[in-house]
Amino acid sequence: MTTTEQYSGGYSPLIIDQFKQRTFAKQGAFLQPYLTAGLTVLDCGCGPGSMTLDIAELVSPGAVFGIDYSSIQIEQALLLQQQRAITNASFTTGSAYQLPFADEQFDVVFSHAVLYHLQQPEQVLAEFRRVLKSGGLVALRDACHTGDMMMPWHTDLAAAWDTINKVFCHQGGNIYFGFQHKQLLLEQGFEDITVSCSYDTFASDAEKDSIRSYWQQFLNVDHRPLILAQQWLTASELDQQCAALDHWCANPASFFARARCEAIARK
């Protein structure tokens, strides 16, 4: 990230615990058929490492490298690695804009839910291309709010999403980014591009409570000072939007499905 950017999701224990629940079998299913034993893989924006370690098991004895801008996340990844006793993975802090790796080092670069937080994703894709071997694969998965479903819908939920979008834009991100994958990959010279879409679904009581807690943390804790300082909302309006998430979660008929655009391309 550049100095003007900030990860909008934050690094609260609640958010990191959610990231720990991610599995490559689910979030990386679009890439899994391409992975074979012995490959060298970079997981850029690895978070607390749950998917990185899944990849390491799949490509063993190949080497997997996880990198994240947050030292907090990397500390969590190293703890998880000890717990799972996986030896063919390593973790480091660093910027996606200046990857600390050699040219043509990797067979695969995987990046989940990273590019849509960045002001200059094309520069990161250029870095991915630099560190990929000739013929290597880049695999991207990012949000695209255009396809999200939060049902039953309500005007207060629409207002909450408008506020979420303002925060993302202010921090340099774009919740509608996912559909840009193919165009940006073409512009960076990648070939054999395959695009797909999938959903992260939150429908059980536990899943709904998890996503409700995530967005309330986002709005009412992590970014409340920013929202009020920018005068996007009054305090009572912000409280109303957070209450709308409570009402949504309590509705037995409610569910949330978050759209993710995916792309695989070859150098």
Note the pLDDT of residue 159: 97
45: nearest Cα among 133, 104, 109? 109
Q: How far apart are CA 108 and CA 132, in angstroms?
A: 7
- C-alpha Rg value of the chain to the nearest Å: 19
Note the pLDDT of residue 220: 94
Q: How far apart are CA 223 and CA 265, in angstroms?
A: 35
Query: What stretches of 19-170 adopt beta strand conformation (E)?
Result: 41-44, 64-68, 89-93, 106-112, 132-143, 149-151
| 178 and 116 Cβ atoms separated by less than 8 Å | yes
Residue spans of the chain under pLDDT 50:
1-3
Question: Helix axis angle, 235-250 relative to 155-171, nearest 10°?
Answer: 120
Angle, CA 266 vertex, CA 116 and CA 9 arms, to 5°: 15
Q: How far apart are CA 139 and CA 43, in angstroms?
A: 10
CB atoms within 10 A of CB 186: 12
Note the pLDDT of residue 3: 38
Note the pLDDT of residue 244: 97
Q: Which CATH number fits domain 13-266: 2.40.70.10, 3.40.50.150, 3.30.70.2190, 3.60.15.10?
A: 3.40.50.150
Q: How far apart are CA 118 and CA 263, in angstroms?
A: 17
Does the CA dihedral 62-37-132-20 come out positive or negative?
negative
Question: Helix axis angle, 205-216 relative to 13-20, nearest 10°?
Answer: 140
Q: How far apart are CA 224 and CA 70, in angstroms?
A: 22
Note the pLDDT of residue 2: 38
